[in-house]
Amino acid sequence: MLVAPSILSADFLDLGSEVRSICEAGCDYVHIDVMDGHFVPNLTIGPVVVDKVAKIASKPLDIHLMVENATFFVDLFAPCKPEFISVHIEEEKHLHRLINHIRNLGIRPSVVLNPHTSEESLKYILPDVDMVLLMSVNPGFGGQRFIPNTIEKIQNLKNHIATKNPHCLIEVDGGVSDKNIDLLKNAGADIVVAGSYVFGSPDYAKAIASLR
Ligand code: DX5
Ligand code: ZN
């Protein structure tokens, strides 16, 4: 299991040392939640901060855009050279074009589904993405409770992936902890995002290892 701690739950007054700590603690990616106050009722960080994070992180960035007008934000964050940029299917009218645009920038494209969005909606985009990010909480805030029907969604998605794009990864985001990690692994998740579980723990290395 690959682990991507979300810095949304980090101490923002000490962000540099928090990012260094999770990288040294053995995370696989640094998950960055970008919120615009429109697509979700919260506001986080922009490219000025993410650029600094990119410079000190020894692990690749995994940027999760929770925004309207995603194309504008993709271009804004592309210079930070993330490994992945994830865009929500609910927001984008021209998803196929945007996914290709992300790939042409040299970034691995990923599509995100909110809890109410069916995995069936991925039918014609699955061959073009490197990852699907399944939200297991409603996006906007850290520290929420895991929505149980995500497990069934992972299993269904795993079947679609097997026929349409076997290299596509499944990432799960929201309410992940040592309590549900076995269920997530058995269902077929490849990467988990964990914010409050990792940053709320006294020992980041131990928390990451418990998910791995
Ligand atoms: C929610 C974010 C998540 C969040 C996860 O909108 O996308 O990445 O930070 O936080 P936890 O792990 O605390 O649910
Ligand atoms: Zn996220």
Q: Domain span at residue 93?
A: 2-211
Please name the residue that has the structure tokens 């309590």: 179
Quote the pLDDT of residue 50: 98
Tell me which H or E stretch contains 34.
strand 30-35
Residues 6+ apart with CB under 8 A from 5: 22, 27, 30, 31, 193, 194, 195, 198, 199, 204, 208
Quote the pLDDT of residue 188: 98
Quote the pLDDT of residue 152: 98
Active site residue 33: yes
User: Contact 72/98 with Cβ under 8 angstroms?
Assistant: no
Quote the pLDDT of residue 102: 98
Give the bridge partners for 171, in sequence order. Answer: 133, 191
pLDDT digits (tens, 9 = 90+) for 162-203: 999 999 999 999 999 999 999 999 999 999 999 999 999 999
Please name the residue that has the structure tokens 């210079």: 79
Cα 183 to averaged position of ligand 2 atoms, centre (Å): 20
What lines the ligand 1 site, CB under 6 Å?
Answer: 6, 8-9, 31, 33, 64, 137, 139-140, 142-144, 173-176, 193-197
Q: What does pLDDT average to in each consecutive run of 10 residues of the chain (212 residues)?
A: 98 98 98 98 98 98 98 98 98 96 98 98 97 98 98 98 97 98 98 98 98 97
User: Which tokens sit at 31?
Assistant: 């998950």
Cα 134 to averaged position of ligand 1 atoms, centre (Å): 12
Quote the pLDDT of residue 197: 98
Report the predicted TM-score, pTM, of the whole model to 2 decimal places.
0.98
Quote the pLDDT of residue 87: 98
Cα 132 to averaged position of ligand 1 atoms, centre (Å): 16
- Residue from 173, 199, 204 whose mutation best tests the ligand 1 pocket (most atoms within 8 A of CB): 173
pLDDT digits (tens, 9 = 90+) for 68-82: 999 999 999 999 999
CATH number, domain containing residue 62 = 3.20.20.70
Tell me which H or E stretch contains 108.
strand 108-113
Number of domains in the chain: 1
